[in-house]
Amino acid sequence: MIDALLANLDTLLLLALAIGALSGAALMIVLRQPMRVALALIATMVCLSGIFGLMGMHFAAAFQVLIYVGAVMVFMVFAIMLLEERDAGAARYSKLLLPGIVGLLLLLATLVGGVWRALPSPRGELSDAPLGMVKFSTAFLAEYWLHFELTSVLLVAAVVAAIAVIRIGRRGRGG
Amino acid sequence: MGTLTLIVLLPLLGFLLNGVWGTALGGRAMGQRAVAIVGCVLPLLSFALALQACMQLARGGWAPIVETAYRWAQLGDSGFDVAFYLDRLSAVMLLVVTGVGSAIHVYSIGYMAQDKGFGRFFAYLNLFLFFMLLLVLGRSMLVLFVGWEGVGLASYLLIGFWFDDVANARAGKKAFVTNRVGDAGFLLGMFLLYQGLGTLEMDRINAAFAAGQAGMLPASLAGVLLFIGASGKSAQIPLHVWLPDAMAGPTPVSALIHAATMVTAGVYLVARLSGLYLHAPEASALIAAVGVATAFFAATIALVQTDIKKVLAYSTVSQLGFMFLALGVGAYGVAIFHLVTHAFFKACLFLGAGSVIHALHGEQDLRKMGGLARRIPVTFVTFAIATAAIAGIPPLAGFFSKDEILWFAFASARGGSPWLWAVAAATALMTAFYMFRLLWLAFLTPSRMARDVEARVHESPPSMTGVLVLLAALSAVGGFIAVPHFLEPQLALPPLHESLLAAEQPLLWISVALALAGLALAAALYAGRGERARRLAAALTTPHRWLLGKYYVDELYERVLGAPLVWLSDRVLLRVSDRLLIDGALHGATAIGRLGAALLGRLQTGSLQVYAWFVLIGIAGALWWGVRHV
Amino acid sequence: MDRTQLLIGVALALFAIGLFGVVVRRNVLVMLMCLELMLNGVNLSLVTFAQHTGNAAGAVLVFLVFVVAAAEIALAIPIVVLLVRDRRTLDVGSYDELRG
């Protein structure tokens, strides 16, 4: 039994992480308090990170945790904490719940029928060949160098914009 | 450019020059003197050229001169030309129009000297002359019709010349609209002729009838329709109502347009198409009947009128009736003869009346005149000569032409009868009577003028009296121009009843007797203080009231035609079709637009989540479509 | 079902649930988090395909998505903070100036 388990460990782990991610997503919709929703999202992200690792994209997994969980979600948690007290008993769902459900079902139907079923045929079970750091780096700095530079521009722009927003905020406060 | 074309165009040039630089439009660049010179020299030039053209015609053995100015429209093989035609008949008309017209232009210099619309007046007068010449010289009925409408326009402009007074403007409108009613008949007649003969050129129409090629064309119907048009222009019953109202215009206008030239256009039209009317006995009979009835009817009204110009206006209607009577019994040349003599004495009478009005500073009521014979002698003498002429006293012009009409009305084999003669003779008696009544009341009775007016009575300037003398002279000797004889090669005189030939001499003496009787009667009733006339009027109150009210024809038209039209226009056309349907459709369209906008506007809820939902649906839809069609 | 199909299914589901959450939840911060969820779904699909086809473009794009998401959240949250400071409510339903 343990052998069978160990032989298919990858598959089981993948399945477990997938289920985890989906549960986290579902919980996000259902939970009432924003902090709990944030935690659900963090759980989803961690599961995704695991999936990335199992796929052999270790750097992606690392960045997922580092950037998404470590920066984005921490910032989000801070924001929640800052703005929390105001709306203790606010409503959970907008008036578009039912239309939203209808839309969701439609979208899922389209996606499943159109995209999921049409996926290409399997190439073999759990092929584990990792993409490899070398291959990734070469591509990133050779073929996609422009995108690399543009990201740095984007980050500068974001920093400048953040400073500008602080300024606006200060002026609004009368300072 | 041919002579005829030049004759037509010179007055047009005058209109353009005076119309632009003589009026406020061009900043009154031309002073009054320049306007007067331009306005009179050009018509006089046309008259000189007309004389020259007539001499050329004579030298050519009286063969008609045709000048084609240009091709107006090409329709397949045939088309319409603008062409001018000079033969005996149009030569006579041409000389009258340019001659009398020029004289009246000269008269206007003095009459309108104080008017601030001096430039405008001469511009319109020249415009009128241009259109009248188109009418007279046109070869095709189309060109004639252009002139026809054009003189109607000029008439409208000139009747309402002093348009600050709304009544004048209304009179102009009445003239134009009544004319248009007649024009409907004219147009239908033209259509009929074109359809039947394929041409509208009048010489060719006459030739076709003479050669018997008219075939299936109902000549009488065409004749009646054209006569309807003529009666609109020449103020015959029932379209006569505009002419008395037209007296609202300045007196030279009344003389030129509503006595000498425009109103005779109807007579001219029928005479031109004599070839047609010779083959249309029913139409001719109608013309004679309407003519004599109009003559009688208008004369009765003239008996009691108190405005000097109104008497002359009804007199004009009556004399036009005489002309149509002559046309109706086939004596086309005689009708033209009367047209010519009438132009002379009626223009003289109107201009004389203008002189009186000028002397009295605007007074037109006969009851406030009198005693003018000594004060304005030139006007008096010329007026008296013209009055005698119209009354038919020999050897003045009116006697010859009127006597010829009476004779042919009696004896013509083409519809003459003793009845026609009797009514016409009675009318002649009345004509003499009311004209001498006018003479007595205005000049020979003791003065009834207002004190301040009487003090300022003065004779008119030479530019006015000179024309009066000229026209009076023509009224005196004009009868000796043997017009019917001259026109005979073209417009043959009708055959006469053999049995009646002996009556010619007696009838002649009767005519003279009637004229003198009218004179005597008028003198008897109106000399002195006019006591006998007043007693007569008091004894016959009802007839007097009917005559004074012009038989209430205007009121009848208003009740029967005017009021229903106004009702229709207001109730149906305005409220229903204009406001309800057309405006309603427009408002409906805008309402639909607005409704659509309101409904679509609801989509913009401002809610982010609604928009996000649309994105959701949109993605689903786009995916579905994309997958389907890949 | 092989690994690719499973993971793509998960990615599609994450995306759909994220979009649904944006439409449905009232709290503005929760909406932002659902947006992040959508981005994560996309990332997963990119990684799956990159590994499946061996094409490095997918991996590169993943990296770019990380950067963009970080920049975006760095600005979105301050904007939300400023917005909430004015209105004193986190309820998206009351942000309707663009109405009409």
**Which residues from A are below 8 Å from B617, CB to CB?**
103, 106
DSSP state string for A53-84: HHTT-HHHHHHIIIIIIIIIIHHHHHHHHHHG
Which of B604, B606, B612 is closest, CB to CB, to C23? B612
Interface test with A, best of B607, B610, B616, B619 (most A CBs within 10 A): B616
Residues of B in contact with C37 (CB under 8 A): none
Residues 48-67 of C with CB under 8 A from A: 48, 50-52, 54, 56-57, 59-60, 62-64, 66-67
Mapping DSSP to helix (H, G, I), strand (E, B) and coil, where does residue B70 land? strand
According to DSSP, the residues that pair with C25 across neighbouring strands are: A93
CB contact at 8 A, B540 and B300: no
Q: In the prediction, which pLDDT does B321 show?
A: 94
pLDDT band at B414 (very low <50, low <70, confident <90, very high): confident
Give the DSSP letter of residue A93.
B
Q: What CA–CA distance (Å, rounded) separates B81 from B204?
A: 13
Cβ pair A40, A56 in contact under 8 A: no
Q: Tell me the percentage of chain A whose pLDDT exceeds 70.
A: 85
Q: How far is C71 from chain A (nearest CA, A)?
A: 6
Looking at residue B488, its pLDDT comes to: 82
Q: Kindly determine whether residue B609 and residue A110, on different chains, have CB atoms separated by under 8 Å.
A: no
Instruction: Give the C-alpha separation, B518 to B432, whole Å.
Output: 5
Residue among C3, C14, C51 whose CB faces A57 most closely:
C51
Residue B523 predicted with pLDDT over 80: yes
Q: Which pLDDT does position B363 carry in this prediction?
A: 84
CB distance A169–C43 less than 8 Å?
no
Q: Which residues of C touch A157 (CB under 8 A)?
A: 71
* Cβ atoms within 10 Å, residue B506: 9
Return d(Cα B274, Cα B285) in angstroms, integer.
Answer: 14
Of B607, B613, B620, the CB nearest to A110: B620
A157 at C interface, C-beta within 8 A: yes
Residues of C in contact with A135 (CB under 8 A): 56
CA–CA dist B272, B190 (Å, integer): 14
Chain C hits for A158, Cβ within 8 Å: 70-71, 74-75
Average pLDDT over residues C32-55: 91
Residues of chain A found within 8 Å of residue C87, distances taken between Cβ atoms: none
- Contact residues, chain B, for A104 at CB < 8 Å: 616
Is B206:B87 a contact under the CB 8 Å cutoff? no
Residue partners of B104: CB distance under 8 A and separation at least 6: B125, B252, B255, B256, B260, B347, B351, B467
Rounded alpha-carbon distances, angstroms, from residue B78 to A53, A172, B199, B331? 99, 89, 9, 34
Confidence at B496, pLDDT banded by 50, 70, 90: confident
Partners of A60 on chain C (C-beta within 8 Å) are 43, 47, 59, 62-63
Q: B401: Cβ–Cβ under 8 A, 6 or more apart, which residues? A: B334, B337, B338, B340, B341, B342, B479
Class of domain A1-84: mainly alpha
Secondary structure of chain C: what % helix, strand, coil (to 5)? Answer: 85, 5, 15
Q: Contact B237/B295 with Cβ under 8 angstroms?
A: no
* Chain B residues in contact with chain A using a Cβ-Cβ cutoff of 8 Å: 607, 609-610, 613, 616-617, 619-620, 623-624, 626-627
Bridge partner list, B79: B74
Question: Which amino acid, one-letter code, is at B313?
Answer: A
Q: What is the pLDDT of residue C13?
A: 95
Taking CA atoms, A48 is separated from A36, A150, B598, C4, in Å, by 18, 26, 47, 14
Q: What dotted CATH number matches C3-93?
A: 1.10.287.3510
Q: What is the CA radius of gyration of chain B?
A: 30
Q: Nearest CA to CA, how far is B568 from chain A (Å)? A: 60
Instruction: Report chain A's C-alpha Rg in angstroms.
Output: 21
Answer whether residue A50 shows pLDDT above 60: yes
> pTM for the whole thing?
0.72
Check CB contact of A98 with chain B, cutoff 8 Å. Answer: no
pLDDT in tens, B110-129: 899 888 888 999 999 999 99
Whole-number average pLDDT of chain B: 89
C-alpha–C-alpha distance, residues B503 and B495, integer Å: 15
pLDDT bin (cut points 50, 70, 90) of residue B55 is very high
Most confident of B111-115, B298-302, B543-547: B298-302
Q: Give CA–CA dist B6/A165, Å, rounded.
A: 89
Cβ contact, residue pair A25, C13, below 8 Å: yes
Q: Which amino acid makes up residue B256?
A: L
**What number of helices (H) and strands (E) belong to chain B?**
29, 2
Query: Any idea where the domains of chain A sit in the sequence?
Result: 1-84, 133-175
Whether the Cβ atoms of residue B113 and residue B252 lie closer than 8 Å to each other: no
The answer to whether B359 and B457 are in contact (CB under 8 A) is: yes
DSSP string, B356-387: HHHHTTT--BGGG---HHHHSHHHHHHHHHHH
A114 lies within 8 A of chain B by CB: yes
C91 bridge partner residues = C27
pLDDT in tens, A124-146: 444 556 667 777 788 888 888 89
Q: What is the ipTM of this complex?
A: 0.92
Using CA coordinates, name the residue in chain A closest to B609. A96
* Cβ neighbours for A135, distance < 8 A, ≥ 6 positions apart: C56
Where is average pLDDT lowest: A35-49, B116-130, B272-286, B596-610? B596-610
Q: Which of A83-87, B84-88, B183-187, B385-389 has the lowest mean pLDDT?
A: A83-87
Q: What is the mean pLDDT of residues B615-620?
A: 93
Which member of A96, A104, A111 has the closest CB to residue B609?
A96
CB < 8 Å from A in window 22-41 of C: 23-27, 29-30, 32-34, 36-37, 40
Partners of residue A107 in chain B, C-beta under 8 Å: 616, 619-620, 623
3-state secondary structure B194-255: HHHHCCCEHHHHHHHHHCCCCCCCCHHHHHHHHHHHHHHHCCCCCCCCHHHHHHHCCHHHHH
Cα C63 to the center of its chain, rounded Å: 15
A16 touches chain C (CB under 8 A): no
Is the CB of A74 inside 8 Å of chain C's CB atoms? no
Query: Per residue in B426-485, pLDDT tens?
Result: 999 999 999 999 999 888 888 888 888 888 888 888 888 999 999 999 989 888 888 888
Whether residues C100 and B607 touch (CB distance < 8 A) is answered with no
Which 3-42 residues of chain C touch chain B by CB within 8 A? Answer: 19-20, 22-24, 31
DSSP state of B93: H
Beta-carbon neighbour count of residue A135 at 10 Å? 14
pLDDT score at A105: 92
**Torsion angles phi and psi, residue A57, rounded to 5:** -95, 75
Distance of CA B47 to the CA centre of its chain: 21
- Which residue in C41, C39, C45, C47 sits closest to C65, CA to CA? C39
Residues within 8 A of C (CB atoms), B 600-619 only: 601, 604-609, 612-613, 615-616, 619
Q: Check if A156 contacts C (Cβ < 8 Å).
A: no
Asked if the Cβ–Cβ distance from A111 to B616 is below 8 Å, we say no
Closest chain B residue to A94 measured between Cα atoms? B609
- Which of A96, A98, A101, A102 best probes binding to B when mutated, by most B CB atoms within 10 angstroms? A96
Question: Has residue B131 got a pLDDT over 60?
Answer: yes
Q: Are B347 and B256 in contact (CB under 8 A)?
A: yes
Which chain C residues touch A64 with a CB distance below 8 Å? Answer: 43, 66
Cis status, amide bond into A122, omega within 30 of 0: no
Cβ separation of B605 and C96 shorter than 8 Å? yes
pLDDT band (50, 70, 90) for residue A173: low
Distance from CA of A98 to the nearest CA of B (A): 11
**DSSP per residue, chain C:** --HHHHHHHHHHHHHHHHHHHHHHB-BHHHHHHHHHHHHHHHHHHHHHHHHHH--HHHHHHHHHHHHHHHHHHHHHHHHHHHHHHHH---BGGG--TT--
Q: What distance in Å separates the CA atoms of residue B387 and residue B271, rounded to the nearest whole number?
A: 27
Q: Which residue of C has its CA nearest to B605?
A: C99
Q: What is the pLDDT of residue B630?
A: 67
Which of A40-44, B73-77, B335-339, C35-39 comes out lowest in average pLDDT?
A: B73-77
The minimal CB distance from B619 to the residues A96, A99, A107 is found for: A107
Angstroms from B629 CA to nearest CA on chain C:
21
Q: Looking at CA atoms only, how far is residue A65 from chain C in angstroms? A: 11
Read off the tokens for A118: 């049409």
Strands of B53-173 (E only): list them. Answer: 65-75, 78-86
H helices then E strands: how many in chain C?
3, 0
- Interchain CB contact of C97 with B (< 8 Å): yes
> Among B25-29, B98-102, B260-264, which is the least confidently predicted range?
B25-29
Nearest Cα neighbor of B220 from B180, B299, B149, B278 is B278
Number of Cβ pairs < 8 A linking chain B and chain C = 34
A139 and C57 in contact by Cβ < 8 A? yes
| pLDDT confidence of residue A87 | 56
Q: Is the pLDDT of residue B334 over 70?
A: yes
Task: Identify all chain B residues contacting A114, using CB atoms and an 8 Å cutoff.
Answer: 623-624, 626-627
Cβ C16–A108 below 8 Å, yes or no?
yes
How far, in Å, CA of A101 to CA of A29, rounded? 12
> Are A67 and C13 an interchain contact pair (Cβ–Cβ within 8 Å)?
no
Mean of pLDDT values over A8-16: 87
Domain residue ranges in chain C: 3-93
C95 at interface of A, judged by CB pairs closer than 8 A = no
Q: How far apart are CA B494 and CA B478, in angstroms?
A: 23
